[in-house]
Amino acid sequence: MSLPLLSVSDYSLSYLTPRGPLEVLEHVDIDVTQGEVVGVVGESGSGKTSLAWAIMRYLARNAVEGGGSIRLGADDLTTLEPRRLCALRGGRLGMVFQDPSAALNPTLTLGSQLIEMIRRHRRASRTEARALAIAALGDVDLKQPEAMLARFPHQLSGGEKQRALIAGAFACRPACLIFDEPTTALDVINAAQVLDLFARLREDTGVAALYISHDLALVSRIADRVCVLEKGRIVERSPAREIFAAPTHPYTRRLVAAVPDPRRRLLDESPDKASQPLLSMRGIGVDYGRHSWLARWLDRPDRRFRALAPMDLDIAPGEIVGVVGESGSGKSTLAKALTGLVDHPGEIDFDGQRVATRGRLRDDYRRRVQLIFQHPDASLNPRHRVTELIGRSYRLFGLPEGETLAQAVARSLREVRLEPALARRYPHELSGGQKQRVAIARAFAARPDLVICDEITAALDVSVQASVIELLLSLRRHHGTAYLFITHDINLIQQIAHRIAVMYRGDLVELLSAEAMAAGPAHAYTRALLAATPLPVSRPSVPSVVSHATAQPQGTPPHDVR
């Protein structure tokens, strides 16, 4: 067996906090040989990202190392002098971060950033670095790579940014790359392209990689071996193809059980077939921009962008309708149209009554149709305590008879399985899963008949996601609520939806039952989505039908961990 290229041996790490030392890594041992991919999986807070920062030597000021070594070849990174470390980092040792928007400087063109990186680590002239940058962008299948150099990050899609970042990382000829959740923010098509691209570049270059993720299905697809991290300790090591078939540690078994599997339906009963649908939309579409009378008079081109083509859809009382599609397909625009956040033509009938457009929505409709956003950090006011966040719904729509505001908030928290004592906390004092539960509690405080969930599990690890889904199904059983569930996780939506709407570039291309999707959808795009979705290796995987793609590089050290 070849000697490891990257070796973490008996390594421990803690953070000094006002409440005392917080142990995040304890006696960790990981080896990665040349050309090998080792996956590191675990829930949020298990120490995965802290391990990556420790290897890259981007430690927070309150970090305290408790012994052990981290070696890249013959170099011990824990004792390497700053000048040699700076030369090594980004060159022989690279990192692909989770958020490509944060990893790229928004004030510089893509070309200036790539050329600077290549000149620094390849000691190339500007002309040579430019040529290498163009070649690298071509290697990751970006169209018109030379023209791409002149673009700023905001002019690239999420998938294009990830491709550009992985191009920069590989252009520096790394011996080892660390990937920290590089596909979390991407839709299923772009994520599949990133993984296919990484597999091709890995084969071409022989790079070693440490792949960090909370997605076991994804890691089992690309890794050779998997290390399972629980509360800073490695509790299981296994070949990737055995992690689903025969997990040995109870924690690993819990993670595997939480992975969405479309064969495992969580919702079997049919929705109530009322005499009329709860919500009926006809010809709902959204165009961004406007074609003014002056532009029409001057016969100028109509530059409006069609985000959502006119579509029809009914939702029955208590029904769960899934909406899937890649980024830019119009999923979130549909949610905004239904909640009055954007103007639209067409008609909406709710519970037998016509609903007007934005600005004239009836108060009763605003109460009965609630929206839960993808990022609770953005949707929860950081200056308000939980009691104020949930209490606002009761102030707007009224308290249940016989309850005070404090009693109603406490009941809402218990309903989403949170302790009422959390009512006094601010959002930053909660975990990601707790914050999403607060957002759910706020929505249900309005006593809605329809809740629109916009990618609400996208940023959650599999175990927290499973608990949130179980909570939503429990609330539906208790309140009879219908859901419009927007997601790019097709495995998940097949578990919980009665019907699934497939969207592509603003068009509704297919509407079918979960059973029909499992049996074989009719539309080619739906089949492409299914083929791009990582599946547990315990069953046959579907060959990918999408092209190659990307991941990410350098960034800034973390702030102190408190």
Which range among 293-302, 391-400, 499-508 shows the weakest confidence by mean pLDDT?
293-302
Mean pLDDT, range 329-348, rounded to an integer: 88
Q: Do 119 and 57 share a structural domain?
A: yes
Inside any domain, residue 496: yes
Helix then strand then coil, in percent of the chain rounded to 5, is 40, 25, 40
Q: Do 338 and 240 share a structural domain?
A: no
Put residue 371 in one of left, alpha, beta given phi > 0 → left and psi -120 to 50 → alpha: beta
Q: Do 217 and 332 share a structural domain?
A: no
Inside any domain, residue 96: yes
According to the model, what pLDDT value does residue 302 have?
A: 64
Whether the pLDDT of residue 561 is over 50: the answer is: no
Q: Do 461 and 319 share a structural domain?
A: yes
Alpha helices in 381-496 (DSSP H): 386-397, 405-415, 432-444, 462-479, 490-496
Whether the pLDDT of residue 419 is over 80: the answer is: yes
Query: Total domain count for the chain?
Result: 2
According to the model, what pLDDT value does residue 215 have?
A: 79
d(CA 115, CA 184): 27
Tokens of 149: 């150099």
pLDDT top residue among 458 and 444? 444
CATH number at residue 321: 3.40.50.300
Inside any domain, residue 381: yes
Whether the pLDDT of residue 473 is over 60: the answer is: yes
d(CA 473, CA 477): 6
Question: DSSP of 446-475, one letter per residue?
Answer: T--SEEEEESTTTTS-HHHHHHHHHHHHHH
Whether the pLDDT of residue 552 is over 70: the answer is: no
Inside any domain, residue 79: yes
Asked whether the beta carbons of 529 and 331 are under 8 A apart, the reply is no
Q: Do 385 and 480 share a structural domain?
A: yes
Residue 482 — very low, low, confident or very high, per pLDDT cuts 50/70/90?
very high
Whether the pLDDT of residue 556 is over 70: the answer is: no
Q: Do 333 and 193 share a structural domain?
A: no
Inside any domain, residue 295: no
According to the model, what pLDDT value does residue 543 have?
A: 35
Which range among 134-148, 311-325, 535-549 shows the weakest confidence by mean pLDDT?
535-549
Tokens of 281: 């939309």
Q: What is the mean pLDDT of the chain?
A: 86
Written in H, E and C, the secondary structure of 198-224 is HHHHHHHHCCEEEEEECCHHHHHHHCC
Residue 542 — very low, low, confident or very high, per pLDDT cuts 50/70/90?
very low
Inside any domain, residue 380: yes
Inside any domain, residue 398: yes
Q: Smallest Cα–Cα separation from 111: which of 50, 152, 73?
A: 152
Q: Do 382 and 234 share a structural domain?
A: no
Tokens of 278: 């709860």
Q: How many CB atoms lie within 10 A of CB 106?
A: 9
Highest mean pLDDT among 96-105, 486-495, 551-560: 486-495
Q: Do 208 and 336 share a structural domain?
A: no
Backbone angles phi, psi at 27, to 5 degrees: 50, 55
d(CA 191, CA 427): 30
Mean pLDDT, range 381-400, rounded to an integer: 94
Residue 306 — very low, low, confident or very high, per pLDDT cuts 50/70/90?
confident
According to the model, what pLDDT value does residue 225 have?
A: 94
Task: Give the position of tokens 């928290």.
Answer: 413
Residue 478 burial class via C-beta count within 10 angstroms: exposed 0-12, middle 13-18, buried 19 and up: exposed
According to the model, what pLDDT value does residue 479 have?
A: 93
Mean pLDDT, range 35-44, rounded to an integer: 91
Q: Do 183 and 53 share a structural domain?
A: yes
Alpha-carbon separation of residue 16 from 13, 51, 57, 249, 287 (angstroms): 10, 16, 17, 30, 51
CA quadruple 383, 384, 386, 392: dihedral sign:
negative
Asked whether the beta carbons of 13 and 66 are under 8 A apart, the reply is yes
CB-side exposure of 460: number of CA atoms within 13 Å?
Answer: 29
Q: Do 204 and 323 share a structural domain?
A: no
d(CA 323, CA 487): 6
Q: Do 321 and 204 share a structural domain?
A: no
Q: Do 220 and 103 share a structural domain?
A: yes
d(CA 534, CA 192): 8
Which residue range forms the structural domain that includes residue 10?
4-258
According to the model, what pLDDT value does residue 243 have?
A: 84
Inside any domain, residue 201: yes
